[in-house]
Chains A and B, each alone.
Chain A
Amino acid sequence: MQTFEDEPLVLGDVSLRSRLLVGTGKYASFEETARALEISGTQLVTVAVRRVNLDREQGPSLLDHIDRSRYEILPNTAGCYDAASAIRTAHLARELLGTKLVKLEVLGDEKTLLPDPVGTLEATRELVAEDFDVLVYCSDDPRLAVRLEEAGATSVMPAGSPIGSGQGVLNPNAIRITLELVSCPVIVDAGVGTASDVALAMELGADGVLLNTGIAGARDPLRMAAAMRDACTAGRNARLAGRIERRLYANASSPTEGVIGSR
């Protein structure tokens, strides 16, 4: 099978060949998580920081099932609704993993899980000052993306649609404008429901796609992991190949000359 050269996706000190970033939440088991990650071809996986459950015997941990020589680990600040708790969570994550990378989430409310733009910008500034490489989950607002890049974000990660909603990329225009306005990597994060959503994001020119529920929540997560992997490659290749113009009328594929019976 012919494959084509591509430049790596560079996020801080990390260089990735796969442009699919995959979350580790909501799988049926750690074994299924590990298998889905492997099939997806991802090289960067996200994890969350949570209180240790002290009422339960300590069983195996997620990290026992993630080969750190194979995957970069991106801790998130999911569940934080203000800049201060996101910053505290980032400190704890760095302590656990020893990595500078953090996926910053400062959310507005529990129903929409939409990012709070002001808190997100505030936390970005602080974490950048503390030498984190900050990948910022943000709303699909191109001007906010510019402000985040100015604040030192390593990557801006606009939501295609609300987290876990499976609605895909609802505002492709906003993603396209964001891509025009910023020079840091733009990763479409959240809302991916199926393979075509990934392909569309990559065709728009996104540098990567981050998803979790789209795989973990599928009826057959392993098969969906394969679909997402292929869609990411397909969309990226289509982008680099340069699509044809959209036209209103037809443009024959076969020669218009030499048709029998013509005069």
Chain B
Amino acid sequence: MIISINGERREVREDLTVGDLIADLGLAPEQVAVERNGALVPRARHGATRLAPDDALELVTLVGGG
């Protein structure tokens, strides 16, 4: 299925959870926060949150800033 991650369309496998996606992308879960269709997905729910076609995800982390 096709979803959007950080504004880019990506093909991902069906039945994927947010937790699976973070692992597949090789990201450290504690360094990533996830928003799905405009709403935060708390870390405790990453494993239970299944993605659907056309979902728009934002995967963010902390960087230097003022």
Contacts and interface: CB of A to CB of B under 8 A. Distances in A.
B40 A52 contact: no
A23 B64 contact: yes
A25 B61 contact: no
A213 B62 contact: no
Given A52-B59, A54-B59, A58-B26, A47 B33 contact: no
A211 B65 CA distance: 10
A193 interface: no
Given A52-B60, A91-B40, A24 B65 contact: yes
A75 B62 contact: yes
Contacts of B5: 54
A88 B64 contact: no
Contact of A46 (B35, B43, B66): B66
Contacts, number: 101
B12 interface: no
Interface in B22-66: 25-28, 31-33, 35, 38, 40, 42-43, 58-66
Contacts of A163: 66
B64 A24 contact: yes
Contacts of A164: 66
A142 to B, nearest CB: 24
Contacts of A62: 62-64
Contacts of B27: 52, 58
Interface in B1-28: 5-8, 25-28
A93 to B, nearest CB: 8
Contact of B66 (A61, A63, A92, A213): A213
A50 B7 CA distance: 13
A49 interface: yes
A27 interface: yes
A95 B42 contact: yes
Interface string A1-45: 000000000000000000000011111000001000000000000
B48 to A, nearest CB: 16
Interface of A: 23-27, 33, 46-52, 54, 58, 61-63, 73, 75-76, 78, 88, 91-93, 95-97, 163-164, 190, 210-213
Given A92-B60, A96-B33, A163-B66, 13 more contacts: A47-B62, A48-B66, A49-B62, A50-B61, A51-B7, A51-B60, A51-B61, A62-B64, A63-B31, A92-B58, A96-B60, A97-B62, A211-B66
